[in-house]
Amino acid sequence: MSIPAPTVGELVPSVRLLLGPGPSPVHPRVYRAMTTPQLGHLDPQFLGIMNEVQAQLRFAFQTANPFTIAVSGTGSAGMEAALVNVIEPGDTVVICAAGVFGNRMADIVGRCGGKLVKLEVPWGQVFPHATIEEALKKHAPVKAVGIVHAETSTGAQQPMDGLGKLCHAHGALLVVDTVTSLGGVSVTVDDWEADAVYSGTQKCLSCPPGLAPFTLSPRALDAVRARKTKVQSWYLDAGMVADYWAEGKRVYHHTAPISMVYALREALRLVCEEGLEPRFARHRRNAAALISGFRALGAQPLSSDGERLPSLNAVTPPEGVDEAAVRKYLLADHDIEIGGGLGPLAGKLWRIGLMGYGSSQQNVVTVLAAIEQGMRKQGKAVAPGTAVSAALRSYDGA
């Protein structure tokens, strides 16, 4: 028997403008870093690069945690790493779920054998800390609270200040998803007193998908060390992975994705060069202009003022507009990708990612012009420039 070779042509993907929920546009410097030569994963040069990436990640996360690494895998691997290490069978875990990613955390808790307490608010809203406190009291002892800082499925931004202190007062660890905030919205792990925090490379860091920044507080590491049972996952066992990342140890566990580490290093160099505050201000400025443009079209943001993510803008399309047809038109005629609604919000949302390198005035103007045009294709009376001029006035500060 012989299997004939398939005929596969040259790879020529379209050059898309990625303004959906991720992946985001990759910075040219990151692409360049990825084409530099492979080193062995235990080569002293590569070990030096790992040290640099750890220091850069501590800056991005604003943490002094010695355990700060990049997990091999996408953001979901970071989520799984955080939860499988912290949770032992029988532990009570409170998960705040108001979207796809909160629900994913809840699913993983069950798979770890944890006793799930799921808190819910309507999608697009955030969790009052009093609700979390109530659950901590009612279900004591609680091993951990899991919450999503930046819920990409709804565009809601969860207030975090004081949450770690609250959890610790009840003996619980705080697990936080910062996949769509790290590098775009302020993440301050030590100020939040968060214990297990993970992110991804393909959102506000503007890398391809493939690594998950991950940090554990000393308190979380103590909990991992005090486990009575082995971590369910061999690949994501923090203790074993730590022995590879720890200075002086560098014990082989699995082969690091070398080119992705190069990519992340360059992406984080860009973050360091721009500075955190200017970078966050850029994300806020572009989101404000985008929302002004949408409002001029009669499209309203899902979440309330002050609870919206600048990196992921979820808006309800104007009455009578076929949102899916507009997205299809954007991809086919403009090479622009945007997202739609998920779950209960399917067919009811546009989700525009303005993440990292993708958060620019140029992209805001481009996507609004294309959406205006898409609405005119559906016979809507939208004067050309309606949204674009509102966005430009926002940039002018008018």
Q: Does 341 bind ligand PLP (CB under 6 A)?
A: no
| Neighbour tally for 231: CB within 10 Å | 21
Instruction: Give the residue with the Cβ less far from ligand PLP, 211 or 367.
Output: 211
**Rg of the Cα trace of the chain?**
22
Q: Which stretch binds ligand PLP (CB under 6 A): 10-18, 64-72, 177-185, 280-288?
A: 177-185
Q: Which two tokens stand for residue 157?
A: 């931004």
If one asks whether residue 359 binds ligand PLP (CB under 6 A), the answer comes out as no
State the Cα–Cα distance between residues 159 and 192, nearest whole angstrom.
Answer: 10
Identity of the residue, 341 or 374, whose beta carbon is nearer to ligand PLP in the bound complex: 341
Contact status: 101 vs ligand PLP (CB under 6 A)? yes
CA atoms of 351 and 199, how far apart (whole Å): 19
Closer to ligand PLP by CB, 102 or 293: give it.
102
In 139-257, which ranges are continuous DSSP H helix? 163-169, 189-192, 218-225, 238-245
Total residues in contact with ligand PLP, by rule CB under 6 A: 15
Q: How far is the CB of 208 from ligand PLP (least distance, A)?
A: 10
Burial call 287-322: b when 16+ CB within 10 Å, e when fewer: bbbbbbbbebbbbebbbeeebbbbbbbbbbbeeebe
Buried b (16+ CB within 10 A) or exposed e, 114-148: bbbbbbbbebbbbbebeebeebbeeeeebbbbbbb
Q: HSE on the CB side for 49, CA within 13 Å?
A: 22
179 binds ligand PLP (CB under 6 A): yes
DSSP-derived secondary structure letter, 336: E
User: SS3 of 350, please?
Assistant: strand
| Residue 369 is a binding residue for ligand PLP (CB under 6 A) | no
Least separation in angstroms between CB 264 and ligand PLP: 13
Interaction between residue 340 and ligand PLP (CB under 6 A):
no
Residue 257 interacts with ligand PLP (CB under 6 A): yes or no = no
Which residue among 66, 209, 239, 257 contacts ligand PLP (CB under 6 A)?
A: 209
Q: Residue 184 interacts with ligand PLP (CB under 6 A)?
A: no
Q: Considering only residues 25 through 84, tell me which ones interact with ligand PLP, judged by CB under 6 A.
A: 74-76, 79
* Binding region for ligand PLP (CB under 6 A) out of 147-155, 268-276, 332-340, 389-397: 147-155
> Is residue 293 a contact residue for ligand PLP (CB under 6 A)?
no
To 10 degrees, the CA torsion angle through 169, 83, 98, 18? Answer: 130
Where along the sequence are the contacts to ligand PLP (CB under 6 A)?
Answer: 22, 74-76, 79, 101, 148, 150, 152, 177, 179-180, 200, 202, 209
